[in-house]
Every structure is written in structure tokens, then in C-alpha cells.
Amino acid sequence: MARARHETRIAWLKANLFSSWGNTALTLISLAIISIVVVRFLDWALFSAVFSGDDGAACNKPGAGACWPFIAHKFGLFMYGRYPDAERWRINLTYALALAGLVPLMLPHVPGKLWLSIYLVIVFPVVGFVLVTGGIFWLPHVATELWGGLFLTLVVASVGIAASFPIGILLALGRRSALPIVRWVSIGFIEFVRGVPLVTVLFMASVMLPLFLPPEVTFDKLLRALIGVALFSAAYLAEVIRGGLQAIPRGQYEAADALGLSYAQKMGLIVLPQALKLVIPGIVNSFIALFKDTSLVLIIGLFDLLGIVQQSISADPKWFSPQTAATGYVFAGFIFWIFCFSMSRYSAFLERRLASDRR
Amino acid sequence: MSLDWLYDRKTRGLIFQIALLIGVAAFFVEIGLNTAANLRAQNIATGFGFLDRPAGFDISQTLIPYSSNSTYGRVFWVGLTNTLLVAAIGIALATILGFIIGLARLSSNWLVARLATVYVEIVRNIPLLLQLLAWYFTLLISLPSPQADVRLLGVGVSDRGVYLPAPVWQPGLGAVLVALLAGIAGAAGIGVWARRKRLATGEQVPAFWYGLAAVIAPPLLVFLALGAPLSFELPKLGRFNLEGGIVLLPELMALLLALTLYTAAFIAEIVRSGIEAVPRGQKEAAAALGLRPWQVQRLVVIPQALRVVIPPLTNQYLNLTKNSSLAVAIGYPDLVSVFAGTVLNQTNQAVEVILITMGVYLGISLLTALAMNWFNARMALVER
């Protein structure tokens, strides 16, 4: 029995790694790449790394690897920005409230999805907004200039996607509308936004938005960035939702018309519920793209996770060492990667489940 | 009076559309009036007159003649050509790398396929801006200082850039260029002839090799006949810096590295899904007809995969072009960096500058979309 298993393993190796000379060469080259990269990375991150110290001097020795104390000392800054220490529990509580709604919503067989959605769409935003901004009850106000780090990244990405959702639905419906002017306005907006880089949209939001408004109206810098991000994301989301609308069989539209439903009833009760369910994986993918794109807000002077890491690397002489920057980038990259990778796995899982549902 | 007209679908649609039109118009009028008032209050000039005023700053990389006496309009063209340069090189490199990785993901070699998967999953899940900053930093610390005077085979390397030998135009080189153009025309002719012959008689002609010979041989012969009229300007060590030759700025290299590696991961996925989308039966049928494995790939699989691959591939090319605007974060002088950045700060004419910048990207996107539609229509006609 053991011998048989041994033989199948050898057969597997032969078939998959050493089937020909060319194949063997590829295997050896791959092994070489893997060993060099893995060994060098492990050496840098663990064996030669510095694990303790109070400033950059501890990491400033020849041959030293990663400067982990830099991360340890700045961890709070990277997670919450300059949000006051004493008030950080408010952010943590907001995270907990979000997870309490999100986790059961994301698991397939938990009942009460409708109530969870209502909680997430109506109750949570209000409670979360009050918690993190403060200024009423006994909660001290925390100005948005102090927000930063991963917290700001999550705020921009989730407010961006939440605000862009209704706009995206309207644009998608508009693009498929029978009314020509509605259709052209929607197409114009969608193609305009999709045709320009996010950087220029952010520039526009930060430089031109104040010019567009009457002088007495002033906007917070964060709010300006959020408007830019939401409009940008809405155009992309509209295209995702349009894909779902197109996938709904014609018969569904015709049946709704035959029942005498109004346009709003037809879309709201028949078409959209089915279409949105179909495009959940696409929406998750848009969220991943938006989550990565939030790093661009550093260009207009907001300190998201990447922005605050970049600032700590370049503007903090106390932690100056040859490995500080690399350590910071690897850390930030790892955090972004965890979020994006797990979301993309979740989206793939949903896609498989949808495929089996429809079979 | 009857109110039936209120319940008529057409009338309702008309009323709704008129209301929308008025709303959109009112929106633009409102922001237009506000902007005009704000600009007056802040004493900012309007109009495009600033394009003719001298810019007064230097740009580190200019593909067209430029000095600090040049106009803001000239800055625009410098930025645009720099953007197009990055986009063109980036697209070429990302396509090559993307195809290699995409094919590697489908490799029968287990290890190669896994390695490609790991690459794709790591690279596309980390923000491009982070990768760009990290590459820029890595380049700056790993390249030697100019004083180290690292030069090899006429190529100088320093943290101010990589200096390549620059070809110097000499009399007679024009004839070589003419010969090259003639060779290309000849190759195209050979292609048409080979195709006609194949359709008429079924005979295969090695048109590719004939064409290659037609492109290479004439210019080479003319070049040698004229006694090799070409010299190179080699980089040499100046007072503070390497000097001379063609300079590849570290910013340009970092931008190319980041854009290429990032976009290649997405292209790899497109290539993989395109090839997987070709039904198995097609390959089996081709093999049953007696085609060799490479013929199966070239004549049956790839043409069908391309039809699936090209639309999303174009999307990635547009993404790469738009993403090149991240240059502003590391100071590569692209359109956004020098025009929407420096010019905007100097002139304060945000409305005009941002509109021009957006217009350029929009124009590129629309032109590409038009080309795509034409291409798709052509591809669809091939279907039988």
C-alpha cells in the first residue's frame, strides 16, 4: 500500500515536472527562482531582521534586514492616523458594529438577510458617523484632518462604494432607458468618467469643486475626495449593474409589463433584485479596485494607509535607516494584499455558488 | 378637463426628459456662474491666453525641443509626448510579459503554473501606487552614484538615470531609411502574394521568412555600401553627472517597471481565460485533421482566443495609459505631473488646465473605442 502510493507520487512527478528535457529545465529554473526569492525574503524578514529598538539607529547596521520596531512603534499611527489615542475605541467599536452586520450577511445560510441589510444601510451609517466624528452627546469632536491610516482607507473605500451604489443603479437604468435624453445623459457621464484617470478626477474634486460652489459653502478636504471617489466608482459600478440587467431574460420585463406594473415597480420588484444578485461578484471586484485606488488620495494630501506609511518613511528623521522604507512598503503591501486577496477569494466563492444555483 | 394625458406613457417620458434636460442645464449654468464669480473674486484670469506665456521652469525629460523660455502650450506637448512614451513602451512590455505569464499559468508543468499563479495573485492585489513608490525607492538605492562612474559597453548607469549611446545622424543614413521603408513595402507585397497563391493553389509559402529577408536585407546592403554612416555619442563622466547619450530617468524606469509588472498580471488572466474559452473539440478536430501541434495553436486556437482576448486587452491598454498619470507621485514629467501639476500651480487656471488634461485622456479613450469597434466588426465578419 505504502509502496503503491510512493509509486503514484513518482509517476505524478514524472508526468508533471520531468516529462521531457524542456520540462525538466523549466522545473529547475522555477526551483531556482523560488529558492532565491524565498531564501532572500526569509533572510530579510526574519533571520537578519531587527526586532527591537527605539529608533532608526537600531536598524542602521550593515547587513541588517527588516526594521520591525519601526512598524511596532508606528502601528497605532498606521492603523488610526492621528486620531487621538483616548478616542480610538470609537473606531474599534465602529469596526465591531460593521462586522456584526457584514459577517452574517456574507455567510450563505444565515437567515434575516433583509434585516441585516436594513441595519447596514440605514442604522449603521448613522451610528458609525456619530461615533467616529463625535461632537454630540459626550463624545468629543474629532476633525477629519486627524483621520488617517487603514481607518481612512476603509472610510474612503466603503463610503465610496455605498454612495456610488444608488448613483450606479440610476446610471445603469438610465443607460438602458427607452428615453433618448436620459440614455444620452447617462452614457455621457459614464463614458466621461471611465475615460479619465482617477488622479484627474481627484484633482478636479480638490481644486475645481470649491470653484463650482458659492463662496459661503466650504467643503472639508476628505468630503471633496469622497465626492470624487463616489462619482468615479459610480460610473464603473453602473457598467457592472448594466451587465446584470442585460442578463435578465426579456420575458421577465414583458411579464412585469403584462401585469400592469409601473416602471418603478417593474424595476424595483422584478428586475433589480434578480440583476443585483447576479452581479454581486462584480460588485465585490469593483470594491477591490476601489480599495486599491483609495491609495491615490495621498496625491491630494490625505493620509490613508499608504500615505501615512510614505510620510513616516520620508519625513521622520528619528526612524531613518536603510531598511525603513522597504519595511514600511512591505508592511503596507501586506495589509492591502490581505484585504484584496480575501475579498477576491470571497467573490470567486460567490461566483461558484451562483453558477451552481442557476444550474 | 380630462387628465388622461398625464397617464400616457409617451407624454410622461417627454415631460421627464424635458425636466432632466432643464435640470442638467441648470446645474451647468449654476456651476458656471459660481465659478465665474469665484474666479473674479480671487482675481484669476480666464481663457486660454496663458498657453502663449513663457513657462519659466525646466523639465527633466523632453522628447521635443523645450527650454524654460518655452510657453505653457509647449509644456502641454512635452507632457503629452512623455505620457505617450510611457504608455507605448509599457503596453509593449506588458503584452509580452502578460502573454508569457498567461501561457505559464496553463503550462503542463505543475511548478511553472503555480509560480505564475502566485505572481498574478500577489501583484494584482497590491495597489499600483504602492508598487510604484517601492520600485522607485528600490531603484534609487540600488543604482550607484554618478561619481562611481559605472560604464559598460557604452552604457552608463547611475542613480540619475541609465545613459545609452545615442546614434548620431550622418549623411547617407536617409538612404538607409528609404531602403528600410522599401523593404517593409516589399514584405507586405510578399504577404499578399503568398496569401493569393495559398487560396488559389493551396500551396504553402514560407512568407514570414521571405518577408523578414525583404525587411532586413535592403537597408543592411545600403548601409554597408555607404560605408556604415553611423556613429554613436557615448556617455562620459562630467563634473557632477554622467553626460551625453540617451538618458533613461530613474522615474521613467520605475514607472515602466510598475506599470508593466502590474498590467502584465491582468493581461495574463485575460490570455488564460481566452485560451481556455476555445472549446476542446476545436483542438481535437484540428489534431484529427493531421495538423501539427504548433499549427493547431497558430491556425486554430490563437485566432479564436484572440477574438475573446482583444476587447479586455484593449481595456487594459487604456488602464495602463490612464495609470501612467500616477507619474505625478514620483515626479516623472508626464501630462498630469507637469501640466495639471506645475502649470496649474503657477497659473491658478484650474478650470482650463483640468479640462484640457481630462480632454486628452478622454480623446485617447474614445479613439481607442472607435478603433475597437472597427476591429470587432472586422473580426465578426470572419466568423462563418
**Chain A residues with beta carbon closer than 8 angstroms to that of B365:** 191, 194-196
Query: Which is nearest to A240 in space by CA: A208, A275, A205?
Result: A275
User: Are residues A191 and A334 located together in one domain of the fold?
Assistant: yes
Whether B380 has a pLDDT exceeding 70, the answer reads: no
User: Are residues A43 and A146 located together in one domain of the fold?
Assistant: no
B128, A340 Cβ separation under 8 angstroms: no
Residue of B nearest to A22 (CA): B109
Residue of A nearest to B335 (CA): A200
User: Are residues A203 and A337 located together in one domain of the fold?
Assistant: yes
Listed in sequence order, the residues at least 6 apart from B204 whose beta carbon sits closer than 8 Å to its beta carbon are B198
Whether B235 has a pLDDT exceeding 60, the answer reads: yes
Asked if B41 has any chain A CB less than 8 Å from its own CB, the reply is yes
Mean pLDDT, residues B309-320 taken together: 87
> pTM score, two decimals?
0.85
Give the confidence band of B384 by pLDDT, cuts at 50, 70, 90: very low
Residue of B nearest to A307 (CA): B130
Cross-chain Cβ contact B35/A299 below 8 Å: no
pLDDT in the model for residue A357: 63
User: Are residues A43 and A167 located together in one domain of the fold?
Assistant: no
Q: Is residue A31 part of a domain?
A: yes
A203, A134 Cβ separation under 8 angstroms: no
Listed in sequence order, the residues at least 6 apart from A128 whose beta carbon sits closer than 8 Å to its beta carbon are A94, A97, A98
Cross-chain Cβ contact A207/B344 below 8 Å: yes
pLDDT in the model for residue A2: 60
Residue range of the domain that includes A304 = 68-83+142-357
Cα–Cα distance measured from residue B134 to residue B117, given in angstroms and rounded to the nearest whole number: 22
Whether the CA torsion B289, B290, B293, B296 is positive or negative: it is negative
Whether B57 has a pLDDT exceeding 60, the answer reads: yes
Cross-chain Cβ contact B358/A200 below 8 Å: yes
Mean pLDDT: which of A50-54, A101-105, B55-59, B185-189 is highest?
Answer: B185-189
What is the tens place of the pLDDT at every residue in B123-165? 999 999 999 999 998 888 877 777 666 676 767 777 777 777 7
Q: What percent of chain B has pLDDT over 90?
A: 19
pLDDT in the model for residue A359: 47
pLDDT in the model for residue B109: 82
Q: Is residue A336 part of a domain?
A: yes
User: Are residues A41 and A79 located together in one domain of the fold?
Assistant: no
Q: How many domains does chain A have?
A: 2
B254, B136 Cβ separation under 8 angstroms: yes
User: Are residues A38 and A151 located together in one domain of the fold?
Assistant: no
User: Are residues A9 and A79 located together in one domain of the fold?
Assistant: no
**Which of A196, A292, A345 is the best substitution to test chain B (most B C-beta atoms within 10 A)?**
A196
Give the confidence band of B382 by pLDDT, cuts at 50, 70, 90: low
Q: Up-side HSE of residue B295: CA atoms within 13 Å toward CB?
A: 10
Backbone angles phi, psi at A217, to 5 degrees: -90, 120
Task: Report CA dihedral (B244, B248, B249, B255) to the nearest 10 degrees.
Answer: 170
**Mean pLDDT of all residues belonging to chain B:** 83
Q: Is residue A121 part of a domain?
A: no
Cross-chain Cβ contact A200/B127 below 8 Å: no
Cα–Cα distance measured from residue A114 to residue B22, given in angstroms and rounded to the nearest whole number: 37
**Chain B residues with beta carbon closer than 8 angstroms to that of A192:** 358, 362
Nearest CB among A199, A211, A329 relative to B133 is that of A329
In angstroms, what CA-CA distances link B11 with A254, B1, B21, B71, B208? 21, 16, 15, 54, 63
Q: What is the ipTM of this complex?
A: 0.87
Burial bucket for residue A214 (CB in 10 Å: 0-12, 13-18, 19+): exposed
Largest CA distance in chain B: 97
Q: Is residue A120 part of a domain?
A: no
Asked if B17 has any chain A CB less than 8 Å from its own CB, the reply is yes
A332, B117 Cβ separation under 8 angstroms: no
Cross-chain Cβ contact A288/B129 below 8 Å: no
Q: Is residue A238 part of a domain?
A: yes
User: Are residues A179 and A327 located together in one domain of the fold?
Assistant: yes
| DSSP per-residue letters across A146-183 | GB-HHHHHHHHHHHHHHHHHHHHHHHHHHHT-SSHHHH
What is the tens place of the pLDDT at every residue in B193-228? 888 887 888 777 777 788 888 888 877 877 777 776
Cross-chain Cβ contact A210/B38 below 8 Å: yes
Q: Is residue A332 part of a domain?
A: yes
pLDDT in the model for residue B193: 85
Q: Is residue A108 part of a domain?
A: no
Cross-chain Cβ contact B111/A333 below 8 Å: no
Higher per-residue confidence, A38 vs B60: A38
Chain B nearest C-alpha distance from A118 (Å): 30
Chain B nearest C-alpha distance from A181 (Å): 6
Asked if B177 has any chain A CB less than 8 Å from its own CB, the reply is no
Cross-chain Cβ contact B125/A181 below 8 Å: no
Contacts with A, B 347-366, CB within 8 Å = 350-351, 354, 357-358, 361-362, 364-366
Whether B348 has a pLDDT exceeding 60, the answer reads: yes
CATH code for the domain of A341 = 1.10.3720.10
User: Are residues A29 and A73 located together in one domain of the fold?
Assistant: no
User: Are residues A163 and A202 located together in one domain of the fold?
Assistant: yes
Task: Tell me the pLDDT of chain A (359 aa) as tens digits.
Answer: 566 677 777 777 777 777 777 778 888 888 898 889 888 888 888 888 778 777 777 777 777 778 888 888 888 888 888 888 777 888 888 888 888 888 888 877 778 778 888 888 888 888 888 787 877 777 777 777 888 889 999 999 888 888 888 999 999 999 888 888 888 989 999 989 998 999 999 988 888 888 888 877 777 888 888 989 999 999 999 989 988 888 888 888 899 989 988 888 888 888 888 888 888 888 888 888 888 988 898 888 888 899 888 888 888 877 777 788 888 899 999 999 999 999 888 888 888 887 766 54
Chain B nearest C-alpha distance from A303 (Å): 13
Whether B344 has a pLDDT exceeding 50, the answer reads: yes
User: Are residues A150 and A39 located together in one domain of the fold?
Assistant: no
Mean pLDDT, residues B166-183 taken together: 78
User: Are residues A207 and A344 located together in one domain of the fold?
Assistant: yes
Higher per-residue confidence, B6 vs A293: A293
Q: Is residue A211 part of a domain?
A: yes
Whether B278 has a pLDDT exceeding 70, the answer reads: yes
